[in-house]
Amino acid sequence: MKLPPLSAKLLPWYEKNKRPLPWRDTRDPYRIWVSEIMLQQTQVKTVIPYYHRWLDAFPDIKTLAKAPLSKVLKLWEGLGYYRRAKNLHETAKLIVKNYAGRFPSEPEAIYSLSGIGKYTGGAILSIAFGKQAPILDGNVARILSRIFALNDPVDTPKGLKKLWELAALLLPEKNPGDFNQSMMELGATLCLPQEPACLICPVSGFCQARQTGTEQDYPRKSGKTKIKKVRAACAVVRHGDRLLITQRPDNGLWAHLWEFPTFRITDKEDGGDFLKKQLQTAGLKAKSIAHKTSLKRTYTDHSENLEVYACELTSETSATPSSADSPFSGQWVKLHELKRFAFSSAHAKIIREYL
Ligand code: SF4
């Protein structure tokens, strides 16, 4: 396949049109790493204030490595996908231990770090170290699918393999970092999923989808990814002026974060009745349980309807979930003390909007 000289068109366009984002002024691998991790699954405008706050608190790898996990999670609060913060913290410790706190520059070393996959590794290698490392995210996959009118679905191993190969073959010898960033920028600003701005696109002359008027038909998807729907019930338990919060286990989703007691429920269960039983098992007697709101949480493979209930305990209840059979262990805190704890986005929203 003869490859079009994309970089000759893209690099001058990028130089002239790139948005002035804070992580674009640096070649510091630590800062690029932090920005790339924050930008996964999260919009640029949301990330910017988090990025500044993070660097104010942890200006370098050593400071991050020394920080307690609770502080790291608190700074990440509201950004979602907390495993990212935990990985940054763990990896910073590892870099201090194995590389004296200096970010490694060799591909094998970078790709072996926890939480750094092919995409993030490629971004760090190319942008910070000027190495020939490709990147492929949703934006780049969409652009390449359209330019080459690729019929292999992008969510299949075959489609992905082809895209990675193309991303590598198209990299120029000079400025691979700028080329990668120009692809991300094109995908974020012109080659949008809906209504791509082909009229002002610098590579429209090479774009097969554009030439056949089929931009909207790409990227192809296999349609095999089914989103499962699940339910959860959450109890905001009050006893006088205190609220019951629990901490998630060390592993899994939202590890270490705090939340109001939350349980997965089946389609048939009534959330209020279920919570009442759970509280009883913990030795807590509910005076009232009322449904307040429902929040939707979306993940890669499932979406969750989180039903939030306000629970008031009877005055004679001893406010400690102490029974040996208790389905949770908790801590009672006053409303103003909640800000000391890191909560997942949904629970932070409950505090912000319903308490
Ligand atoms: S011409 Fe249109 S579809 Fe093709 S890369 Fe440019 S914006 Fe995307």
Check pocket membership of 10 for ligand 1, CB cut-off 6 A.
Answer: no
Check pocket membership of 140 for ligand 1, CB cut-off 6 A.
Answer: no
Burial class (CB in 10 A: 0-12, 13-18, 19+), 257: buried
Check pocket membership of 147 for ligand 1, CB cut-off 6 A.
Answer: yes
Check pocket membership of 209 for ligand 1, CB cut-off 6 A.
Answer: yes
pLDDT value of position 347:
92
Nearest CA to ligand 1 atom 1: 204
With a threshold of 0.90, tell me whether the complex ipTM lies above it: yes
Question: What CA–CA distance (Å, rounded) separates 324 from 328?
Answer: 10
Confidence class of residue 323 from pLDDT cuts 50, 70 and 90? very low
Nearest CA to ligand 1 atom 5: 143
Q: Say how many Å lie between the CA of residue 280 and the centre of ligand 1.
A: 59
Q: Which residues of 151-164 are buried (b: 16+ CB within 10 A; e: fewer)?
A: ebbbeeeebbebbb
Check pocket membership of 190 for ligand 1, CB cut-off 6 A.
Answer: yes
Nearest CA to ligand 1 atom 2: 198
Q: Which residues of 223-255 are buried (b: 16+ CB within 10 A; e: fewer)?
A: eeeeeeeebbbbbbbbbeebbbbbbbeeeeebb
State yes or no: is 312 an active-site residue: no
Check pocket membership of 245 for ligand 1, CB cut-off 6 A.
Answer: no
User: Which atom belonging to ligand 1 lies closest to the Cα atom of 204?
Assistant: 1
Average pLDDT over residues 39-62: 95
DSSP structure class, residue 171: -
Check pocket membership of 201 for ligand 1, CB cut-off 6 A.
Answer: yes
Pocket test for ligand 1, best of 140, 170, 184, 191 (most atoms within 8 A of CB): 191
Q: Which domains does the chain have, with CATH numbers?
A: 6-217 (1.10.340.30), 228-354 (3.90.79.10)
Residue 109: count other Cβ atoms within 10 Å of its Cβ: 15
User: Which atom belonging to ligand 1 lies closest to the Cα atom of 218?
Assistant: 3
Per-residue pLDDT tens digits for 108-165: 999 999 889 999 999 999 999 999 999 999 999 999 999 999 999 999 999 999 999 9
Let me know the angle formed at the C-alpha of 90 by 94 and 168, rounded to the nearest 5 degrees. 80
Active-site residue, selected from the candidate residues 36, 77, 185, 259: 36
Residue whose C-alpha is closest to residue 354's, from 246, 247, 238: 238
Answer whether residue 320 shows pLDDT above 80.
no
Q: Say how many Å lie between the CA of residue 121 and the centre of ligand 1.
A: 26
Average pLDDT over residues 302-327: 75
User: Which atom belonging to ligand 1 lies closest to the Cα atom of 202?
Assistant: 6
Burial class (CB in 10 A: 0-12, 13-18, 19+), 64: buried
Per-residue pLDDT tens digits for 220-268: 998 766 778 999 999 999 988 889 999 988 877 788 899 999 999 998 8
Per-residue pLDDT tens digits for 181-215: 999 999 999 999 999 999 999 999 999 999 988 99
Q: Say how many Å lie between the CA of residue 192 and the centre of ligand 1.
A: 8
Check pocket membership of 39 for ligand 1, CB cut-off 6 A.
Answer: no
Answer whether residue 44 shows pLDDT above 80.
yes
Which residues partner with 246 through β-bridges? Answer: 259
User: Which atom belonging to ligand 1 lies closest to the Cα atom of 207?
Assistant: 4
Nearest CA to ligand 1 atom 3: 215
Residue whose C-alpha is closest to residue 82's, from 46, 40, 24: 40
Instruction: Tell me the CA distances in angstroms from 60 to 55, 102, 115, one per residue in order.
Output: 8, 9, 18
